[in-house]
């Protein structure tokens, strides 16, 4: 990503020269680590780096958000397991449960203790 592209990507943010150099370095690293097929991940990585570099957030704050998201994901999965159990008890087939829940049949079987 060129500096011009980066400035355009930043929108209304106005980094100082030191911040712009750091963001450029982060963009270079993101492009090196995440190939074009992973453009979404690369964009998220650069966004996180930019937010920290500009002082909009901190590593600790982003780590706390990840912890919150992980707990929410675990809770959602537990609730889905409960729904799987209820559906199976109501006579819905494992294949139908898997299709409707957006998981594979082995996930359904695991939720049912099989």
Other beta carbons within 10 angstroms of residue 84's beta carbon come to: 23
Low-confidence winner among 32-36, 67-71, 91-95 (lowest mean pLDDT): 32-36
Taking 90 as the threshold, does the pLDDT of residue 107 lie above it? yes
The 10s digit of each residue's pLDDT in 4-41 is 777 788 888 889 999 999 999 999 999 999 988 888 89
Give the pLDDT score at 77.
Answer: 97
Give the pLDDT score at 75.
Answer: 98
Give the pLDDT score at 10.
Answer: 87
Low-confidence winner among 10-14, 49-53, 90-94 (lowest mean pLDDT): 10-14
Residue indicated by tokens 């494992």: 94
d(CA 19, CA 50): 9
The pTM for the full model equals: 0.75
Give the pLDDT score at 52.
Answer: 97
Residue 78 three-state SS: helix
């Amino acid at each position: 990503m060129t500096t011009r592209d980066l400035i355009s990507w930043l929108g209304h943010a106005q980094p100082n020269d030191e911040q712009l150099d750091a963001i450029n370095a982060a963009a270079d690293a993101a492009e090196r680590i995440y190939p074009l097929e992973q453009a979404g991940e690369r964009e998220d990585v650069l966004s996180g780096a930019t937010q920290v570099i500009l002082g909009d957030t901190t590593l600790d704050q982003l780590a706390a958000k990840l912890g919150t998201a992980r707990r929410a994901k675990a809770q959602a999965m537990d609730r889905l397991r409960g729904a799987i159990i209820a559906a199976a008890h109501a006579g819905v087939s494992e294949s139908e449960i898997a299709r409707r829940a957006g998981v594979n049949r082995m996930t359904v079987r695991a939720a049912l203790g099989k």
